[in-house]
Amino acid sequence: MPMQISLEELLSMVVSRVEEMTLDTENQKSRFNIMFRVLYKKGLFNENDVIEAIREENKILLEMGLIKAMPDDKTLKAAADSLMLWIKGDAKEIKASLDDYRKRVEEAQAQQNKPRIDVAPAGVLNELDRLGGNNNNGKKIIL
């Protein structure tokens, strides 16, 4: 016998499951951060090792066709620096980095929200004037 549930019950179950997955992900991230801090403090790896591991990861992704190009050294270094902030547990620097990122995102959004004015080439405007006839008293047609 088929079971019937309301859309509200279904959405509630989905939201509950997503919340569980989010908590699990955060828990896993915390565990990895703790383990990497222990390994780093014991001297088992350094920043150059992290850069090389990121380079190797991207090489694998490239070979699998999951990325189109290998990131440049500057991008690899930025990714390694970001990881090392978490591994070192530098809360002040992490906060500054997040603030800087937030500013850049806001600036990018502001640039996208600016109104644009597209200007047609002169030839198109002349053609529109010609099609409009001579009754426009020398004014250009602007759409």
Residue 21 is assigned to a structural domain of this protein: yes
Residue 52 is assigned to a structural domain of this protein: no
Residue 34 is assigned to a structural domain of this protein: yes
pLDDT of residue 18: 94
Judged by phi (left if over 0) then psi (alpha if -120 to 50, else beta), residue 138 lies in left
- Average pLDDT, rounded, for the chain: 87
Residue 24 is assigned to a structural domain of this protein: yes
Tokens 């694998």 — which residue?
60
* Closest C-alpha among 75, 94, 97, 96 to residue 85: 94
Residue 14 is assigned to a structural domain of this protein: yes
Least trusted range by pLDDT, from 2-6, 45-49, 87-91, 126-130: 126-130
Yes or no: say if 103 and 74 are a contact pair by the CB < 8 Å rule: no
Domain hosting residue 31, numbered range: 9-44
Question: pTM of the full predicted structure?
Answer: 0.58
Integer Cα distance of 48 and 36 in angstroms:
15
Residue 141 is assigned to a structural domain of this protein: no
Q: What angle do CA 17, 21, 22 make, to 5 degrees?
A: 115
Residue 32 is assigned to a structural domain of this protein: yes
Q: Does the pLDDT of residue 29 top 60, yes or no?
A: yes
User: How sure is the predictor about 133, in pLDDT bands with cuts at 50, 70 and 90?
Assistant: low
Q: Does the pLDDT of residue 136 top 60, yes or no?
A: no
Across residues 27-45, what is the average pLDDT? 94
Residue 81 is assigned to a structural domain of this protein: no
Integer Cα distance of 53 and 75 in angstroms:
13
Yes or no: say if 61 and 67 are a contact pair by the CB < 8 Å rule: yes
The conformation of residue 141, written as its DSSP 8-state character, comes to P
Yes or no: say if 77 and 68 are a contact pair by the CB < 8 Å rule: no
Total domains present in the chain: 1
